[in-house]
Structures are given as structure tokens and as C-alpha cells.
Amino acid sequence: MRADAVHRVILNAPLFHGMSVTLAPDPKFVKIASLENGKVAQYLFKCLGAAAAVTGQDLHDQILSYIPPIDQDDEQDGKSADA
């Protein structure tokens, strides 16, 4: 994730299927739970109000659009390992 205009990196975390990305009760905030070094890390991003170029809902939707779907091969491998 990069900041607008200056393109400074503000978060460098992998996106994975099943990660938690939610809007907080205040729609200016987006909560993300990610994995870093095998541990869960939680982040809270504050966006500007509804008049801003990017709102909390926009950020939430963009992050969800980049999360990869579950790989069908991995899903089948998991089922066969359990059987």
C-alpha cells in the first residue's frame, strides 16, 4: 500500500485468502489483520471524510479486490490429506 502523491510505502504485508479486512463502526477507519513473521498483526487505517478522494469504504473495497481467491489445487490437496 502506498500513500497518494508521494507513493511512500505505508504497509508492506502479503494479502492472502481469508485475511480480515473490515470497516470500523466509524466509516473513516478500516481494520486489517495480517500475518508478519508468523504472528497476527492488526492495523487500523484512518481515511479522510466523505469529501476526500479515498474514503474508508473505497479503501476497504480496493483491498478486498486484491485478495487472491483460494487456489482450487490447494483446496483439493487439503481434502486428500485429511482423508
pLDDT digits (tens, 9 = 90+) for 31-77: 999 888 888 889 888 887 666 667 888 888 988 998 888 875 555 55
- Does 22 score more than 90 pLDDT? yes
Q: CB of 41 within 8 A of CB of 50?
A: no
Residue-level pLDDT at 6: 66
**pTM of full prediction above 0.75:** no
State the Cα–Cα distance between residues 50 and 54, nearest whole angstrom: 8
pLDDT reading at 26 higher than 90:
no
pLDDT the model gives residue 65: 92
pLDDT band at 83 (very low <50, low <70, confident <90, very high): very low
Helix, strand, coil abundance in the chain, percent, nearest 5 = 25, 25, 45
Of 75, 66, 79, nearest to 2 by C-alpha is: 66
**Whether the predicted pLDDT of 25 surpasses 60:** yes
